[in-house]
Amino acid sequence: MVSGRVLLAALLAAALLCDAGVTSAQDSARQALALELAQVMIDEPTQRGFADQVGVSMLRVIGTTLQERLNRRLQDSEGRALAEIIRSFVGRTLPPARIQEIASRAYASHFDERELRALLEFQRSELGRKAARLTPVIGLETAQAVEGEIQQSPAMPLLIEELQRAFPVLRSPESP
C-alpha cells in the first residue's frame, strides 16, 4: 500500500511537472506574442509620449518639492537644469525596448494567445494602422468636446455655488 501511495505521488508530481512545462510554453508563447504586439502598437511617437508623460510628472513632483525646500520659485536656469536631469534619467530608465517590455506584460495579462494573435493581425492591417494613427487625434478631439460640454453645462452655476459653500475662500472677488 505504501508503494501505491509513492507511485501515485510520483505520477501526480510528473503530471504537475508536465503541465507546468505546457503552461510555461503557453505563457512563453503568449509573452512573445504580447511583445510583438507592443512592438507594433508602441511606435516612436508613442514611446516619446510615454517618456514625456513620465518626465512631466516627475518634474512637477520634484520641482514642487524643490520650491518648497527653497521657499521660492525655481529660477529659469534651475528649471531647465532640473528638466534636463529628469529627461536624461527617463531616457536611461525607459529606453524603447523597456517600454515595449512593460507594455507586453500588460497585454499578456489581459489577453490570451488567441486574442493576441487576432490583435496582431488587426494592428498589422491597413485599418489597424489607420486606427492606431488616428487614436491620439480622436482622443484629443473627444477630450476637447467633453471639456466644451462641461464649460457649457447648465449645471456649472450649481457647481460653483457648491464649491463656494464648501470652500468660502472661493467667494472672494480675487478668486479665479
User: What integer pLDDT is reported at residue 27 of this predicted model?
Assistant: 87
The answer to whether the Cα torsion of 172, 174, 170, 147 is positive or negative is positive
* CB of 50 closer than 8 Å to CB of 99: yes
Pairwise CA distance, residues 140 & 144, whole Å? 6
Per-residue pLDDT of the chain (176 residues; tens, 9 = 90+): 444 444 333 434 444 444 444 456 668 999 999 999 999 988 888 888 889 999 999 999 999 999 999 999 999 999 999 999 999 999 999 999 999 999 999 999 999 999 999 999 999 999 999 998 898 889 889 989 999 998 899 999 999 999 999 988 888 766 45
